Amino acid sequence: MNYDIKDIKLAAAGKKRIDWADKDMSVLNQVKKRFSQAKPLKGLKISACLHVTAETANLVRTLKAGGADVLLCASNPLSTQDDVAASLVKDDGIKVFAKKGEDKNTYFKHLEIAIKHRPDVTMDDGADLLSLLHTKYKNQVKDIKGSMEETTTGVIRLKALEKENRLLIPIVAVNDAQTKNMFDNRYGTGQSTLDGIIRATDILLAGKTVVVAGYGWCGRGFASRARGMGANVIVTEVDQIKALEAAMDGFRVTTMAQAASVGDLFCTLTGDLHVIRPEHFKKMKDGAIVCNSGHFDVEIDVIGLKKIAKSVVKNVRNFVDEYHLANGKKIYLLADGRLINLAAAEGHPASVMDMSFSTQALATEYVVKNAGKLENKVYDVPVEIEQWIAQAKLKSMGISIDQLTPEQKKYLSSWQIGT
Task: With CA atoms as reference, report the closest residue to 99 among 157, 276, 109.
Answer: 109
Q: Which is nearer to ligand ADE, 175 or 201 (CB)?
A: 175
- By beta-carbon proximity to ligand ADE, the closer residue of 65 and 342 is 342
Nearer to ligand ADE, 128 or 264 (CB): 128
User: Cβ distance 267 to 212 under 8 Å?
Assistant: yes
Least Cβ distance, residue 50 to ligand ADE (angstroms): 6
Closest CB to ligand ADE among residues 232, 356: 356
CB of 155 to ligand ADE, least distance (A): 14
Which of 151/232 has CB closer to ligand ADE? Answer: 151
What are the residues binding ligand ADE (CB under 6 A)?
50-51, 53, 55-56, 188, 192, 342, 347-348, 353
CB nearer to ligand ADE: give 40 or 221.
221
Cα–Cα dist 279/305, whole Å: 9
CB of 225: closest distance to ligand ADE in angstroms?
15
Supply angle C-alpha 69, 72, 77, rounded to 5. 170
Instruction: Report, in Å, the least distance between residue 145 CB and ligand ADE.
Output: 23
Enumerate the β-bridge partners of residue 416.
none
Task: Tell me the β-bridge partners of 172.
Answer: 148, 379
* Sequence-ordered strand ranges (E) for 295-401: 309-317, 320-325, 330-334, 378-379
Looking at residue 356, its amino acid is: S
User: Nearest approach, Cβ of 184 to ligand ADE (angstroms)?
Assistant: 7
The pair phi, psi for residue 54, each rounded to 5°, is -60, -35
Nearest position to ligand ADE, beta carbon: 347
Residue partners of 5: CB distance under 8 A and separation at least 6: 82, 85, 86, 89, 96, 97, 98, 99
CB nearer to ligand ADE: give 223 or 309. Answer: 223
Min dist CB 4 to ligand ADE, Å, is 19
* CA 180 to centroid of chain Cα atoms: 10
Question: Coil, strand or helix: which one is 146?
Answer: strand
Strands (E) located in 163-236:
171-173, 209-213, 232-236
Q: How far is CA 106 from CA 53, 97, 130, in A?
A: 19, 9, 17
Terminal Cα-to-Cα distance of the chain (whole angstroms)? 73
CB of 223 or CB of 259, closer to ligand ADE? 223
Compute the least distance from the CB of residue 296 to ligand ADE, in Å: 14
Residue among 55 and 120 whose Cβ is closer to ligand ADE: 55
Contact 51, 76 (CB under 8 A): yes
Q: Which CB atom, from 59 or from 246, has the smaller least distance to ligand ADE?
A: 59
* Least distance from ligand ADE to the Cβ atom of residue 345, Å: 9
Rounded (5°) CA angle 252-253-259: 90
Contact 152, 175 (CB under 8 A): yes
- CA–CA dist 31, 39 (Å, integer): 11
Smallest gap from Cβ 323 to ligand ADE, in A, equals: 27
Tell me the closest approach of the beta carbon of residue 347 to ligand ADE, in angstroms. 3
